[in-house]
Amino acid sequence: MSTVETPLHVAAEFPVLRREFGGRPVVYLDSAATSQTPQPVIDAMTGYYTESRASIHRGVYPLAVEATDLYEGARQRIARWLQSTPEETIFTANATASINLVAATWGRENVGAGDLVVLTETEHHSNIVPWQLLCAQRGAELAYVPMLDDGQLDLDALDALLARGPKVVAAVHISNVVGTINPIEEIARRAHAAGAVVVVDGSQAVPQIPVDLRALDADFYAWTGHKAYGPTGIGVLHGRRELLETMPPFMGGGHMIRQVGDTESTWTDLPWKFEAGTSQIAEAIGLGAAVDWIEQIGIERIRAHEAALLADALPRLAEVPGLRLHGPLDAAERGALISFVIDGAHPHDVGEILGREGVCIRTGHHCTQPLMRRLGAVATNRASYAVHSTTADTDRLLEALGTVARVLQL
């Protein structure tokens, strides 16, 4: 039964967790898709709309200066949190937009016919499709690092691909399906030795584990706010400054220019060169508040808490008749999510029945269809934990899986 308590007992700070379905409190086990939002983040965004509403970077009146300071202050805190710099911290719409920015700017300038782009079998579509588009446009080749049966990447296969001199190695930090924490620092070291640029999807990692961008040494690192207790509509791209400075803008328009002539324009400084148009002001302020909130708890405490939940849940789920787990069985090797299938039960049926019991999990291919083919599955169920989760949530999950067995007569 429940032995793992939440850091600082933060569940009360999440308004959605007060909801009930069928007279039972909601159990939210879908944070890998979208995390819930704590009240301080909501308050920060509401504060902008009610007290500091103005455009940024343009007006010189006090309200506009205040809004600009809130926005850029959030950028500074976000950059400092991950050991980056404000100039190398670009606000985008989400991680997908961040990776598309890299593929459409650096990629088009540097990847040509016959060049090799290396991905892994564990990638989210957001770190596959932009590279597919680039390779189709430029006549380049795509190749994949296989996943081993235990959920780890085949680093020997990576070395074989690196021997071919790829231009790009793109890898996910934590798989959103099998949960594996990939050795990004080691992958980056090997890829750089082979002359490749390294692009990392950190969407699952940033809210779950300590991330030090200087230590990882990736060239580009993308993540999204809505998985990190922040709002939707904002993501972040951290890039190596010397690369960002040589890249053309992703979009043209207001704010990203230095001077606009009749036939050509020049661009402003980093990071604003990549932030055309009116920015996501409230969203950036909200993401800054989310980072502050995470820091108050401590990312190390969050990681320890979620790892303890995994260590409790994995063996208990493994005992469910007909249930098969995907990914590493050691909680220390994975992020705070568990994918599984149940023999004789379609994942969508499982998810729908659990939903009636107030237990929210994700079902489907999780935007990882190549990985689904590797697993021999059309879809999986995924339960993902967060800072507000407890082993009581796992108790409810297991109880609801019992209902699945009864309803489907398994």
Instruction: Determine the Cα–Cα distance for residues 117 and 408; give it in Å rounded to an integer.
Output: 45
Q: Is residue 36 part of a domain?
A: no
pLDDT value, residue 18: 95
Residue 136, pLDDT above cutoff 80? yes
Q: Which residue has the higher pLDDT, 410 or 226?
A: 226
pLDDT value, residue 341: 97
Relative to beta strand 337-342, strand 220-224 is unpaired
264 phi and psi, to 5 degrees? -155, 165
CATH of the domain at 397: 3.90.1150.10
Are 116 and 243 in a shared domain? yes
Residue 51, pLDDT above cutoff 50? yes
CA within 13 Å, CB half, 360? 21
CATH of the domain at 89: 3.40.640.10
Q: What is the number of structural domains in the chain?
A: 2
> What is the average pLDDT across 103-113?
98
Least confident of 191-205, 216-230, 259-273: 259-273
Q: Which residues contact 406 (CB under 8 A, 6 or more apart)?
A: none
> What is the average pLDDT across 203-232?
98
> What is the average pLDDT across 241-270?
91
pLDDT value, residue 46: 98
Residue 4, pLDDT above cutoff 70? no
Are 141 and 269 in a shared domain? yes
Are 265 and 347 in a shared domain? no
Residue 2, pLDDT above cutoff 70? no
Residue 20, pLDDT above cutoff 80? yes
Residue 7, pLDDT above cutoff 80? no
pLDDT band at 210; cut points 50, 70, 90 = very high
Domain that holds residue 134: 43-296
pLDDT value, residue 8: 47
Clarify whether 135 is annotated catalytic.
no
Are 277 and 303 in a shared domain? no
pLDDT digits (tens, 9 = 90+) for 337-390: 999 999 999 999 999 999 999 999 999 999 999 999 999 999 999 999 999 999
pLDDT band at 1; cut points 50, 70, 90 = very low
> What is the average pLDDT across 249-253?
90
Task: Exactly one of 353, 367, 386, 400 is catalytic; name it.
Answer: 367
Are 128 and 110 in a shared domain? yes
Instruction: Determine the Cα–Cα distance for residues 252 and 91; give it in Å rounded to an integer.
Output: 15
Nearest C-alpha neighbor of 169 from the set 209, 115, 114, 249: 115
Q: What is the mean pLDDT of the chain?
A: 95
Are 326 and 232 in a shared domain? no
pLDDT value, residue 211: 98
Are 183 and 314 in a shared domain? no
pLDDT band at 19; cut points 50, 70, 90 = very high
The domain boundary, picked from 268, 296, 324, lies at: 296
Amino acid making up residue 85? T
pLDDT digits (tens, 9 = 90+) for 266-308: 888 999 999 999 999 999 999 999 999 999 999 999 999 999 9
Amino acid making up residue 386? A
Are 139 and 231 in a shared domain? yes
How far is C-alpha 183 from the geometric centre of its chain's CA atoms?
Answer: 16
pLDDT value, residue 305: 96
Are 403 and 390 in a shared domain? yes
Residue 255, pLDDT above cutoff 60? yes
pLDDT digits (tens, 9 = 90+) for 74-104: 999 999 999 999 999 999 999 999 999 999 9
Are 61 and 131 in a shared domain? yes
Residue 126, pLDDT above cutoff 50? yes
Residue 114, pLDDT above cutoff 50? yes
| Percent over 90 (pLDDT), the chain | 92
Fill in the DSSP letter of residue 11. G
